[in-house]
């Protein structure tokens, strides 16, 4: 059990990559906190996991709102005493379309959910981690930050902000023994995939995309969960500021 007695918060933990992380961390003995706005899915997942004997709670948290983060941190510390790992994973896609077709409200929402959320999470959780003298923050970025492609301009830019924040946070928080790393997944098998592909995913679209991934498949929630587990665990205690591709070689 690599995460026994550790407490892990995952934003966007009710679906896709975040759900995979919650399941994998629970298998490794962690206390898990699902922070999401999808109450039905979050509550059902928390019931399922805690029913198997590992504490798991759901907390409604809109990551664009600082009040929810304060509540999330306070309730987590009240229940579990520490916050060892904060995974900023909730995200919003841009529907694949030309950059001039994206309206201002959509642009703002993409940056609020993907970028401002990390600012708000950091302000809430870092004081707790400083007090503890340790912590691991993991941000879900994307290959979109490292190798931006057409049709996703503003989403690409938001994930570029995530990788820059990750490195900048890592240097500033290093003296506190708080590590900050990011995951950069290639397109993954989650409900978000359709938006990136511009709607319904046909077999032709899938095959065309997969052919650009040297290892010949899309990413999965388990790929992301295993990578997050490495950044969260004591196996990576001297690793900070790394934005790691989880992409089967796509960015090479
Ligand atoms: N799926 C992909 O192809 C892919 C590729 C690269 C990066 N990503 C990134 O991975 C992360 C997870 O995405 P996913 O693919 O698992 O998608 P998903 O749609 O399965 O899950 C996203 C989760 O975020 C939650 N969420 C959305 N807005 C929120 C808000 N304001 N507050 C709290 N929770 C909110 C949703 O309710 C959902 O549970 C995102 O940051 C996404 O940008 C996804």
Ligand 1 neighbour 17 (Cβ under 6 A) = yes
Q: Which domains does the chain carry?
A: 7-245 (3.40.50.720)
The reported pLDDT for the residue numbered 196 is 86
| Ligand 1 centre distance from Cα of residue 175 (Å) | 31
The reported pLDDT for the residue numbered 198 is 78
Q: What is the mean pLDDT of residues 167-182?
A: 98
The b-or-e profile of 112-128 (16+ CB within 10 A means b, else e) is bbbbbbbebbbebbbeb
Mind listing the pLDDT tens digit for each residue in 151-168? 999 999 999 999 999 999
| Ligand 1 centre distance from Cα of residue 64 (Å) | 13
6 confidence band (pLDDT: 50, 70, 90): very high
Q: Which atom of ligand 1 lies nearest, measured to the CA of 19?
A: 16
pTM attached to this predicted model: 0.98
Q: Which atom of ligand 1 lies nearest, measured to the CA of 112?
A: 31
The reported pLDDT for the residue numbered 126 is 98
Q: What is the mean pLDDT of residues 207-220?
A: 95
Mind listing the pLDDT tens digit for each residue in 83-117? 999 999 999 999 999 999 999 999 999 999 999 99
Ligand 1 neighbour 193 (Cβ under 6 A) = yes
Mind listing the pLDDT tens digit for each residue in 29-80? 999 999 999 999 999 999 999 999 999 999 999 999 999 999 999 999 999 9
Ligand 1 neighbour 185 (Cβ under 6 A) = yes
The reported pLDDT for the residue numbered 201 is 85
The CA distance from 179 to 164, in Å, is 14
71: Cβ–Cβ under 8 A, 6 or more apart, which residues? 59, 61
Residue 199 has pLDDT above 90, yes or no: no
Percent of the chain at pLDDT above 90? Answer: 93
The CA distance from 183 to 62, in Å, is 21
Q: Which two tokens stand for residue 57?
A: 């709670």
DSSP reduced 3-state for 249: coil
The CA distance from 93 to 91, in Å, is 7
Residues identified as active-site: 155
Closest C-alpha among 67, 65, 54 to residue 4: 54
Mind listing the pLDDT tens digit for each residue in 230-249? 999 999 999 999 999 999 99
Residue 220 has pLDDT above 90, yes or no: yes
- 3-state secondary structure labels for all residues of 40-54: HHHHHHHHHHHHCCC
Ligand 1 neighbour 89 (Cβ under 6 A) = yes
| Ligand 1 centre distance from Cα of residue 95 (Å) | 13
The CA distance from 159 to 17, in Å, is 16
The reported pLDDT for the residue numbered 125 is 98
Percent of the chain at pLDDT above 70? Answer: 100
Residue nearest to atom 1 of ligand 1 (CA): 188
Residue nearest to atom 40 of ligand 1 (CA): 91
* Residue that is written with structure tokens 């060892």 in the block: 84
The reported pLDDT for the residue numbered 170 is 98
Task: Tally Cβ neighbours within 10 Å of residue 248.
Answer: 19
DSSP reduced 3-state for 240: coil
Strand 85-88 relative to strand 7-11: parallel, antiparallel, unpaired?
A: parallel
């Amino acid at each position: 059990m690599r995460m026994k007695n550790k407490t892990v918060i995952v934003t966007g933990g009710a679906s896709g990559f975040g759900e995979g992380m919650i399941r994998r961390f629970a298998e490794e003995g962690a206390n898990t906190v699902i922070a999401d706005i999808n109450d039905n899915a979050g509550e059902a997942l928390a019931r399922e996991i805690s029913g198997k004997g590992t504490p798991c709670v759901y907390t409604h948290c809109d990551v664009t709102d600082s009040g929810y983060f304060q509540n999330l941190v306070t309730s987590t510390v009240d229940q579990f005493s520490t916050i060892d790992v904060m995974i900023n994973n909730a995200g919003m896609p841009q529907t694949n379309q030309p950059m001039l077709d994206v309206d201002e409200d959509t642009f703002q929402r993409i940056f609020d959910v993907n970028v401002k959320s990390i600012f708000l999470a950091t302000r809430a959780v870092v004081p707790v981690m400083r007090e503890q003298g340790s912590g691991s923050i993991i941000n879900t970025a994307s290959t979109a930050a490292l190798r931006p492609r057409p049709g996703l301009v503003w989403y690409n830019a938001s994930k570029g902000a995530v990788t820059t924040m990750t490195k900048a946070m890592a240097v500033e928080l290093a003296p506190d023994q708080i590590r900050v790393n990011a995951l950069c997944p290639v397109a993954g098998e989650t409900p978000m995939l359709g938006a990136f592909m511009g709607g319904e995913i046909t077999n032709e679209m899938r095959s065309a995309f997969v052919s650009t991934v040297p290892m010949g498949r899309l990413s999965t929630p388990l790929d992301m969960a295993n990578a997050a587990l490495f950044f969260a665990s004591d196996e990576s205690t001297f690793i900070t500021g790394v934005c790691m591709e989880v992409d089967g070689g796509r960015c090479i």
